[in-house]
Each structure stands twice: as C-alpha cells, then as structure tokens.
Amino acid sequence: MRELLDRLVAGEMTTPEEWRALLDCSAPEVRQALYEAAYRVKLDTVGPTVYFRGIVELSNMCSKDCYYCGIRRSNTNVERYQMSEEEILRDALWAHEHKYGSIVLQSGERQDAQFVEQIERILRRIKEASGGELGITLSLGEQSEAVYRAWFEAGAHRYLLRIETTNPDLYRALHPESHTFDARVACLDTLRRVGYQVGTGVMIGLPGQTSEDLANDIAFFRDRDIDMIGMGPYVLHSETPLADGLDSIDPETQLELGLKMIAVTRLVLRDVNIAATTALQALNPIGREMGLQAGANIIMPNLTDTPYRKSYQLYEGKPCLDEDSTLCRGCLQKRVAGIGETIGLGEWGDSPHFLKRIHVSRGEER
C-alpha cells in the first residue's frame, strides 16, 4: 500500500482496481497514511485554503421521487416552503457582506416556467446588488439546455448535479423508472457545453453499492474531466422507501468510507475542488474537519433562514438546524483555524482544474 500511495502522490498512472484496494482497507495505519498522502497532494495542488460556499436551500418543493431522499414528492409529512425573492436576496447579500466569495442556490427540482423565470430574476438581482462580485453556483437539478443557458447568461457560472451513482443498475434500483441515468449524464454534458464549471458526485455507502462501483465513480469523474466534487455518505431518512427494511447503517463505517472516497478522489483527480459535505457532519460532529484533513478544500455553510431548515432534511441527523448564519459562520471559522487552515475570503475560489482547462482551450501556456 505504501508503494501505491507513493505512486499516487507522484501523479503516476494508477487503475481503478488499485483505488479499490485503498477503499477496502480498514487497517487504521493504512487509512491514516491514505489521508496524509491525500493531504499532501491537496497542499501541492489547491493549498491550505478553505473556500466557503454559503448555501441557500430556497425551496423544498420537488417533482422528483428518489427512493432515498427525505423531501421526495411522495413524502406528505414534509411542510413545503418556497422562500421569497427578497429572502433569497437578503441571504445572498449577507454572504457577500461577510466576504463569502460565492454562494450555492439549491432546491428541489422544478421545471415549470414560473420557477425558471424566478431563478433568472434572482440571479440578475444578486449579480447587480453585489456589483458582480458574488460567485453563484446552482444546484437545481435536471433542466433543458435552454434553461441552463438562460441561467448561465443571467450570471450563474458553476453547476452541481450529482450523478448519485455511476452504476446504471444501482441507479435504476434507487429511482422510479422516469428518472433515467442517461438523462442525467446528458445534463452533465449540456452543462459543460453551455460553459459552466461542472460539479458532480455520488452518495457513498448506498445499500447494494460495492467498492468496485465507487472506484468506477472516481474513473467517471476523471474521464469526464469534472471540475468540482460534492459527495457524501448516504444517511437514512426513515420516511423513504429505501429505509424500509433497513435497520440502521453504522455511522462509523459510513463516515470512514466517505473519508476514504475523498482521499482517493483527491489523489487521482488532484487539482479539483472537493467539498467536505454536511452529511459527514451528520455522522460525526467533526466530520467536515475530518473531510478537510482527508483532502477536501470546500465547505458549504448553511445560509437558509432557520425556520425553513427543519423542512429541508434530505436525510436524518442534519446538523445546525437551530443555528442562524452568524452562529454557523463563527463556528466554522473556529473549526477551520483549529486544523491550521485559512479561509479564502472574498474570492470565488474556482477550481484550478477548470482554470487550466480554460487556458489550454485558449491555447495559452499551462
């Protein structure tokens, strides 16, 4: 394993079978060596700076029905909400004033014209009110090329759309028939074509998922030249079909697998942005710091107004439901300083991978 880690740190070609061996390892000293190797590559490629992406969960209304998700359309126990444009703008400007370089607008998936137009208006208003300074990432699901284009032109420049799993059979087992793997992959292609920095990711530790699947997920990220990764452990939500018949999943095992995925992904992809997602913190109070130490470099502090947070639970045990943004910010600053890293304030923090690609396509030197 040491030799394999050395080859990965040196940036040599390695195979999914080799990554799989790392994902399967459970010996604490091997895991520690894996995290340390990933951390070294992170320092060399993206540095010790953590970028904040303040996330606004603007609505939990959703037309999708994924079997694992707490806000799926068929869950009638959820109180549905939609934030007003003023509320969204206020949260975005709070982020700007506090020098968060960029924000993420996320919601359940809707494709109706009213929603599409509202997002477009909000994008323009945020851009205008922040003097063009605030970077905006969207995480609003599958849309047509025309919609992706309209939102890009209105000011969004990054888009997150998780592929969830790259094993088409597992994808089918986790979704109703109308949600197809091919359509999702096509959306990732469209986003790239329109000009977004493209982010994707998977859920880790899904029932029926193997380490071979996870290694293939990393190969998918690499082969599609993905710029940003947002992935996290699968966490049960009891009001979902996938949780039926499952007792509980050991949080320790889920966390460990999540961290190993971050580390191997950092070793293989090197200069991309990787988020330490909130699902890690749902499993362990210091899960996100552990993610940073295993190779992640992005944190997404929650900006959603507290009354809405309890209604945006994709899984159980989501942290910080009672804290407002000010508390989240203070808490995160302490956490980041606690592991000796600094926060990149007032910068977009684009993925170096994206910047290099843009330079290459313009024929400039790397």
**Which residues of this protein are in contact with ligand 5AD, per CB under 6 A?**
68-69, 162, 164, 203, 232, 234-235, 237, 279, 314-315
- Number of neighbours of residue 132 by Cβ within 10 angstroms: 10
Q: What are phi and psi of 111, to 5 degrees?
A: -120, 5
> Whole-number minimum distance, CB 363 to ligand 5AD, in Å?
36
From 64-72, 119-127, 201-209, 331-339, span contacting ligand FES (CB under 6 A): 64-72
Pick 107 or 197: Cβ nearer ligand 5AD: 107
Least distance (Å) between residue 188 CB and ligand FES: 16
Q: Which does 203 bind (CB under 5 to 8 A by kind): ligand FES, ligand 5AD, none?
A: ligand 5AD
Q: Is 69 in the site for ligand FES (CB under 6 A)?
A: yes
Amino acid (1-letter code) at residue 51: Y
Integer Rg of the chain from CA: 19
What are the structure tokens assigned to 310, written together?
């309890």
Q: Which stretch binds ligand FES (CB under 6 A): 5-13, 67-75, 245-253, 301-309?
A: 67-75
CB 255 within 8 A of CB 283: yes
Give, to the nearest 10 degrees, the angle between helix 2-9 and helix 28-45. 10
> Of these, 20, 53, 72, 266, which contacts ligand FES (CB under 6 A)?
72
Structure tokens belonging to residue 100: 């968060």
**Per-residue binding letters, 262-301, with ligand FES (x by CB under 6 A):** ----------------------------------------
Q: Which does 62 bind (CB under 5 to 8 A by kind): ligand FES, ligand 5AD, none?
A: ligand FES
Q: How far is CA 161 from the centre of its chain?
A: 8
| Dihedral angle computed from the Cα positions of residues 220, 257, 39 and 162, in that order, rounded to the nearest 10 degrees | 40
CB of 57 vs ligand 5AD, minimal distance in Å: 9
Residue 338 beta carbon to ligand 5AD: minimum distance, rounded to whole angstroms: 25
Residue closer to ligand 5AD, measured from CB, 165 or 211: 165
Which residues in 289-315 are b (16+ Cβ under 10 Å) and which e? bbbbbbbbbbbbbbbbbeebbebbbbb
- Kindly tell me which of 58 and 336 has the beta carbon lying closer to ligand 5AD: 58
Find the distance separating the first CA and the last CA of the chain, reported in whole Å: 32
Cα separation, 231 vs 233, in Å, equals 7
Binding site for ligand FES (CB under 6 A): 62, 64, 66, 69, 71-72, 314
